[in-house]
Chains A and B, each alone.
Chain A
Amino acid sequence: MSSAVLVPGVPSTSRRASAEVVRSIARIEVRRLLHQPVFLVAVFLFVLMAVTTPFSDYANADYVVTAENGTETNLDWPVVPAFFLGLGGLIAMNRVAKGASRTGDVLEAAPATKLQRSLALCLVCLVPAVVAFAGAAYVFVFWMVDPPLQAMAWTEFTDTQLFSIMVEGVLAAVGGPLLGVAVARWWRWPTAGAITAVALILWAVLSSVYRDSSWWGALIHHSSPFALAVFNTESSTWAQGGSHHWRVAYLAGLCLLAALAACAHGTTGEQRRQLVRVSLAVGGLTVIALLLATFTGPEGHYGPWNPLW
């Protein structure tokens, strides 16, 4: 490690040494994340849900469709990693990023810049992403081997769209923790993590309030980071429509914006200006991706519950 790295606030002269600092901090932060009870419970519940998905109300060819059990399951997969790993990760990473423990205080004194510490925290968010990816891959393999043919709207999606739906769940699982880091960096209030989690939940609830095929209803639906691909109640059915490929791009943009927001805290001068410029560019592309997700792709539909959808 170069001597420059050992001086707090002074950026490393060597990119390799700087990367090593980031990796070292990330390793410590991963251990701290794995000590967060909320995250451990979230991972356990996610794995439980993922493992049992192909065996619990799995609407394959042998599944008996009735009005009671319906066929709403299976394509609602993206909300599983989103709500468990996304929200659980948000709360846990918010706690980790605030450094509210003895290890956190030690890390604050570590010879690294704020940007390096933020980058390390963003790297830690790959842990829930890896868990979400493993679960998504497991369920996707089941989808391809023994398709849930009777799942609502199953026949309306191509394989690549189904793949995109899976990726949406993974991105939600990484975006939640990244948002937790960004919020911890900019909003040190003790209630910040819980209120941010609630705001995300309300956004998700709002996304399914407007159950019609209007463009603004679709826009609100697609804008929510946590949203169902299809939705039904005891009496009605709603399919989101729009392009899931572009929705993946939109969610990736949100993740990147959260990471940039986290990294921007503590930077000054040219470094801050550069991050702002990149953020504006990414923000613009994210908005374009949202509009494309809303206005391209197949049309959504809304109506009385219909097992054939």
Chain B
Amino acid sequence: MVTRSALAAELRAVGWGPVLGAGAAAATVLALDGTVWPSGPGSVTAWVGGALLAGAAGFSLDQPAAGAVQSVPTSRGWRMAVRACAGLGALAGWVAYAVVWRAQLAVGVPAWWAQVLAGGALVTVGLGLCAALVRRGQDEPASTVAGGLVFAVLALGLVPVPGDVLVLDLSGERGSTTVAWAVIALLGAAGLAWGSRDEGSRWRETDARSAGH
């Protein structure tokens, strides 16, 4: 089975150390937020934890063994899809944090869908940036992307966004905030889609059609 062996090869090529390391750091930060500093979703610690989770997902797209992986007869899209599954794990971590937080009845509860949207957008934009940078020739862009995401969520809390958009508000009551996160998620998805395309696939399709004629 070529597919099974290719899947195994692809998974072996993922740098699991950084993925799990960033994931563990994110889990620690989110656990601190839920216990020692019970400030909850919308706090600095929660956003930083979310950014680290997105960074952890991004590390799965790093290609420390790019030369070996590219010799496997699979498309870039297939390889990216396999690796991006780590993003689902990161999103699951964020949702678990949200569920645990919501179980504490004594605290303010943000809108669940706003929280999932923000977490999903962070993970998607992390994956999208990494996929695009990998396609642009950087084999290991995730360290920069993870740091950039941490910096970005902090900057969003300090810099007034034009149009009075409160990007870090998770109440779900502001349409502008929802639109902002939806746009961020779409941009991430677009990056992921672009980064997953095989270079020159358009030309191969053209060649195939020409051969058919």
Contact = CB atoms under 8 A, between A and B. Distances in A.
A42 interface: yes
Contacts of B149: 194
B29 A42 contact: no
B159 interface: yes
Interface stretch (B14-22, B65-73, B79-87): B14-22
B62, B147, B155: residue with the most chain A Cβ atoms closer than 10 Å: B147
A38 B143 contact: no
B148 A38 contact: yes
Interface string A32-62: 0000111001100100110000001000000
A164 interface: no
Given A38-B144, A91-B148, A198-B29, A45 B155 contact: yes
B96 interface: no
A181 to B, nearest CB: 14
Interface stretch (B44-52, B172-180, B191-199): B44-52
Main secondary structure of the interface of A (DSSP, over half): helix
B48 A201 contact: yes
A49, A91, A98: residue with the most chain B Cβ atoms closer than 10 Å: A91
Interface residues of A, number: 33
A191 B32 contact: no
A194 B45 contact: no
A232 interface: no
Interface in B159-182: 159-160
Contact of A37 (B45, B59, B148): B148
Interface in B100-143: 140, 142-143
A193 B144 CA distance: 8
A198 B25 contact: yes
A209 interface: yes
B184 interface: no
A68 to B, nearest CB: 14
A202 B32 contact: yes
A201 B150 contact: yes
A191 B18 contact: yes
Contacts of B154: 83, 87, 201
A178 B135 CA distance: 31
A203 to B, nearest CB: 12
A283 B178 CA distance: 48
A74 interface: no
A250 interface: no
B185 interface: no
A190 B158 contact: no
Nearest to B139: A100
Contacts of A100: 140, 143-144
A278 interface: no
B150 A198 contact: yes
Interface string B21-58: 11001000100100001000000110010001001000
A194 B37 contact: no
Interface string A64-93: 000000000000000110011001100100
A94 interface: yes
B151 A38 contact: yes
A209 B155 contact: no
Given A91-B148, A201-B150, A202-B32, A193 B45 contact: no
A290 to B, nearest CB: 23
A221 interface: no
Contact of B159 (A37, A45, A192, A194): A45
A87 B25 contact: no
Given A198-B150, A202-B32, A190 B140 contact: yes
Interface in A170-203: 189-195, 197-198, 201-202
Given A38-B144, A100-B140, A209-B37, A194 B32 contact: no
Given A91-B151, A198-B25, A201-B45, 15 more contacts: A45-B155, A79-B158, A83-B158, A84-B155, A91-B147, A190-B142, A191-B21, A191-B143, A191-B146, A193-B143, A194-B146, A194-B149, A195-B21, A197-B151, A205-B44
18 contacts: A36-B144, A37-B144, A37-B148, A38-B148, A38-B151, A42-B155, A49-B158, A98-B143, A100-B144, A189-B17, A191-B21, A191-B55, A191-B143, A193-B147, A194-B25, A194-B150, A195-B21, A202-B45
Interface of B: 15, 17-18, 21-22, 25, 29, 32, 37, 44-45, 48, 52, 55, 59, 62, 140, 142-144, 146-151, 154-155, 158-160
